[in-house]
Amino acid sequence: MDYSVKGYSNLIGMQGFSKTLLENHFTLYQGYVSNTNKLSDLLADMLGEGKSSTPEYAELKRRFGFEFNGMRLHEYYFENLGGKSSLDRSGTLAGKLSEAFGSYDAWEQDFRATGAMRGIGWVILYQDNVTPRLFNQWINEHEVGHLAGCFPLLVMDVFEHAFITDYELKRADYIEAFFQNINWDIVESRLQ
């Protein structure tokens, strides 16, 4: 079964994100979908040909995690954008953020600080599926640093491609624009 590119053109016109930046980002995402499908097919072919013990198979298997997570993290990211209102501070998610971090403001400060760290990657608000505790986590490359057994609630892309077109090296300004566009209904719907 092949993965399909999802459409996010509804985000064009979003405050703080130019059409050029979004269209370039959508193209990058399409590449992850395409490569996920290609690798899936190549791995199936190699397995069928008895080549599963080769170094090539091993490297493609490792690469699959990068491409698949690149695809999926971009889907979470685009889906949690496009909001026009702030988080309901009396809602379930706000309560869980306060419980985990002491207050919504403390959570936001930690999330922003995590996003401002040097390096490329992602910031993800995770929910632990065992304890339902919430964590802000830095992810380097797409496949490195994920918390096992946790579900992403809010995903922010902090690779340069997500902001450099509009914000140059001003990552803090991009993070501000990101916060102005969070679709909190989607984020809250991801709670387990």
- Say which CATH superfamily domain 92-189 falls into: Iron/manganese superoxide dismutase, C-terminal domain (3.55.40.20)
Could you please report the per-residue DSSP string of 8-66? -GGGTT-TT--HHHHHHHHHHHHHHHHHHHHHHHHHHHHHHTT-TTSHHHHHHHHHHHH
**142 pLDDT band (50/70/90 cuts)?**
confident
**Percent helix / strand / coil, the chain, rounded to 5:** 55, 10, 35
Spatial distance between the Cα atoms of 169 and 135, rounded to a whole number of angstroms? 26
Question: Which sequence spans correspond to the domains of the chain?
Answer: 18-79, 92-189
Is the model's pLDDT at 167 over the cut of 80? Answer: yes
Per-residue pLDDT reduced to its tens digit, 84-112: 999 999 999 999 999 999 999 999 999 99
CATH number listed for the domain at residues 18-79: 1.10.287
